[in-house]
Copies of this chain bind each other. A is one copy, B any other.
Amino acid sequence: MTALIYCPFPNEECAFEIGRELIEEGLVACINVGGGIRSLFKWQDRIDEGSEVAAILKTNAKLIDAAIARLEHLHPYESPAILGWHCDAAGSATQAWLGGLRPAD
């Protein structure tokens, strides 16, 4: 079963750097880094704003927990927002691609 992870990063370089590490470690197969996003959020009882970039990472349901734990460790924020979900359907090529992921030893 395929899976997606959504995670904002402070900037594109940071997203690419961490994405590359997760790809090299065999935890995700791809990261798509989008353009800038404006964020409004409540943290410790204060509403604040920020500028980030949004990223989507592609993995599978078996690896999603390990990928998210590693992403949380690598992310520069103290409390990054990282959310992942299983996908109920995928293209046949996508299923083969993401099903073939093997974490590096």
Chain A residues with a Cβ under 8 A of chain B = 2-6, 8, 12, 16, 19-20, 23-24, 29-43, 47, 52, 54, 56, 58, 61, 64-65, 68-69, 71-72, 78-94, 96-97
Contact = CB atoms under 8 A, between A and B. Distances in A.
Contacts of A19: 40
A16 B38 contact: yes
B72 A88 contact: no
A37 B34 contact: yes
A86 B84 contact: no
A26 to B, nearest CB: 8
Contacts of A24: 47
Contacts of A54: 32, 34, 56
